[in-house]
């Protein structure tokens, strides 16, 4: 039991060190430190994506701007090798973790760049868990470079200039999340 306590302490300290580290290179505070998408919210998005991915006759391109450690893209890429998955992450450490975690997957690519410089012209589906502060700039970029009929799934953040076509609730203990779905 004492080893478990030490493990938790070390994990907590490592995450604290990462949070401090991530505040420095965060593009002058534009991007927040990494916070993983809640498990239940990820499962809800995956559940909503399954019919789209299973039913598609063509290879779809799914993009996750601010993909963190790839916790949403990697399970999807394993389950659907016929589709192309793209993660965009500005943080070099998280980018390297993504590369390591998906080293055996041929259908997933990561870019270490700002999500606001990515060209969304050939994207079929966008999935994201971001802070509201970045949404207006991302929305502007998607509207500038995105293609018609692109679907967007967003955890707890709304895109005010887009028409919401669905909203799903996701609950985990005391937390409630809304998964918003939009179409360009």
Domains in the chain, number: 1
**Rounded distance between C-alpha atoms, residue 160 and residue 142, angstroms:** 13
Is there a domain that residue 4 lies in?
A: no
Q: Which residue range(s) make up the domain with 127?
A: 30-183
**Tokens 């389950």 map to which residue?**
79
CATH value at residue 154: 3.40.50.150
Is there a domain that residue 171 lies in?
A: yes
**Rounded distance between C-alpha atoms, residue 72 and residue 128, angstroms:** 9
**Rounded distance between C-alpha atoms, residue 134 and residue 156, angstroms:** 13
Q: Is residue 14 helix, strand or coil?
A: helix
Residues 115-137 have pLDDT tens digits of: 999 999 999 999 988 877 888 99
Is there a domain that residue 129 lies in?
A: yes
Residues 173-183 have pLDDT tens digits of: 667 778 889 99
Is there a domain that residue 17 lies in?
A: no
The model carries a pTM of 0.81
Q: What pairs with residue 154 in β-bridges?
A: 128, 180
The two structure tokens encoding residue 59: 């290879």
């Amino acid at each position: 039991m004492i080893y478990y306590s030490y493990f938790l302490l070390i994990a907590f300290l490592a995450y604290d060190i990462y949070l401090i580290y991530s505040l420095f290179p965060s593009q002058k505070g534009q991007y927040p430190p990494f916070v993983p998408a809640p498990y239940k919210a990820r499962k809800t998005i995956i559940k909503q994506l399954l019919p789209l991915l299973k039913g598609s006759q063509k290879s779809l391109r799914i993009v996750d701007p601010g993909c963190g450690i790839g916790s949403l893209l990697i399970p999807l890429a394993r389950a659907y090798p016929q589709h192309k998955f793209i993660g965009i992450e500005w943080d070099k450490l998280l980018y390297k973790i993504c590369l390591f975690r998906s080293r055996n997957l041929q259908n997933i690519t990561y870019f270490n760049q700002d999500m606001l410089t990515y060209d969304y012209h050939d994207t079929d589906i966008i999935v994201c868990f971001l802070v509201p502060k970045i949404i207006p700039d991302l929305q502007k970029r998607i509207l500038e470079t995105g293609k018609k009929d692109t679907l967007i799934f967003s955890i707890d953040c709304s895109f005010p200039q887009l028409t919401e076509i669905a909203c799903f609730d996701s609950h985990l203990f005391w937390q409630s999340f809304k998964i918003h779905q939009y179409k360009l």
